Amino acid sequence: MKKLSFITVLSLIVILLANCTSPTEKTEWKLVWEDNFDQTSGFDTTYWSKIPRGRSDWNNLMSDNDACYEMKNGNLILKGIINPDLSTDSVPYLTGGVWTKDKKTFNNGRIEIKAKLGESIGAWPAIWMLAQDKTWPDGGEIDIMEHLNYDSIVYQTIHTHYSYVLGIKDPVSGSTNKLNRNDYNVYALEMYKDSLVFFVNDSHTFTYPRIETDKEGQFPFDAPFYLLIDMQLGGSWVGGVNPDELPVEMAIDWVRFYQKNE
């Protein structure tokens, strides 16, 4: 038998210890809230509302039209569709999105979302968070998942006054990570007082830390945040839409929120 060097043995021990203390070990967490979208009609309005239309790329096609929403096979389906009636709404496409604003907030825990993303040129589904009590960008933005639907990757990013207004790139504010195309993926975020830790399918992908700095707004994330899940079509980032590939659907299987066991 080949003898292992002391350094090799020590390296193996370090690897084994690291695996035993993985941040995704579920025994460390207690499930405190979930929505499995098991209703046959309509999502639970105790926690969710339809996102209203706005003027930004991400919400300028948002609609409360029921054609953009469906409960099917234990999933909340958010759709991007061709506008069926231009006489009542002049935008060419309609999209569906929900948020927990003013109803349910999250912090100091781990949030997980299991979702399947449809594919269509110009589709831009997202799962993200905004501060409940502060405006953007001072309150911060946490992009748990953004996908340009011709890509084989997802984007995970933070935005703050420090990174967006001041333009400071240290620490790094985002990463890209592979996903299982045409299948469900689990996107997760752990929120701590000193860091945000991102995951795709339980693989650690990115950490954004709090650092010592005299610059404003580096880490505004130790506060209540609400969750947004939305489908969008078109815009300056994702580009044009191919109407022949619509409708496009985003299926949300469940949302779960955990906190550390005492």
Residues tagged active-site: 141, 146
C-alpha–C-alpha distance, residues 84 and 75, integer Å: 24
User: Which of helix, strand or coil describes residue 193?
Assistant: coil
**β partners of residue 75:** 72
Q: C-alpha angle 148/174/178, rounded to 5°?
A: 50
Give whole-number Cα distances, 97 to 58, 156, 166, 218, 260, in Å.
Answer: 10, 19, 30, 29, 30
Name the CA radius of gyration of the chain, rounded. 20
| HEC secondary structure over 70-90 | EEECCEEEEEEEECCCCCCCC
Q: Which sign, positive or negative, has the C-alpha torsion 148, 151, 155, 160?
A: negative
Give CA–CA dist 55/150, Å, rounded: 24
Gap between the Cα atoms of 94 and 65, Å rounded: 8
Q: What angle do CA 126, 127, 132 make, to 5 degrees?
A: 125
Rounded Cα distance, 228 and 211, in Å: 27
Q: How far is CA 153 from the centre of its chain?
A: 13
